[in-house]
Amino acid sequence: MGVRLPPFQHLVDAHWRDVARLAHALAGPVDGDDVAQQAWTQALAAYPQLRSATNLRGWLLTITHRCAMDAHRGRARRAVLHHDPASLAATPPSVAAADATLPDTDLWRRVGALPDRQREAVVLKYVADLDHPTIATALGCSPAMSRRLVSDALATLRKDLP
């Protein structure tokens, strides 16, 4: 006897904002929509085979996190043409520097400068509003390590506050 799942559209209606917000926070304003779309596509494909209907939001956000990491890996492999390669050394890339008109740009630049796992843990905690066991599942670590990653990231961010 299989698990009784609600129609997939109910899941979309309930969680589309959370998926979009996390996708944009992890992948940035340029790739956020593509990451969200990829997450929904993967979720739809996997939905009929789910064995449990508990914490569907956490399941969706874990898929979104993995899609965002795939997007980062893909971006790192893509060739980018530059007319002035010497200018690249003067301005290192930043995850959050894509749009200087966003609110709290300085904070997001500092979040973008965190080590990858700390940045991911902070975004999952404060943007996606996940608990530590769910963050641990998404990052492939223990809940204690999830707490440590968030704590270390916050300590780094607080260091430079005025």
Beta-carbon count within 10 A of 61 CB: 27
CB distance 35 to 26 below 8 Å: yes
Q: Which residue ranges form the domains of the chain, and what is each CATH number? A: 1-77 (1.10.1740.10), 96-162 (1.10.10.10)
- Summary mean pLDDT of the chain: 80
> What pLDDT is recorded for position 43?
95
Question: Which span out of 37-51, 75-89, 103-117 was modeled with the highest average pLDDT?
Answer: 37-51
**Helices and strands counted in the chain (H then E):** 7, 0
Structure tokens at 126: 């404060």
Structure tokens at 149: 């990653």
3-state SS assignment for residue 150 = helix
> What pLDDT is recorded for position 28?
81
Is the pTM higher than 0.85? The answer reads no
Q: Would you mind telling me the total number of residues written for the chain in this entry? A: 162
What Rg value do the Cα atoms of the chain yield, rounded?
17
Residue 35, CA distances (Å) to 30, 40, 76 in order: 10, 9, 15
Per residue in 1-44, pLDDT (tens digit) is 467 888 999 999 999 999 999 998 888 878 889 999 999 999 99
Per residue in 56-74, pLDDT (tens digit) is 998 999 999 999 888 877 7
Smallest CA-to-CA distance from 145 within 113, 112, 117 is with 117
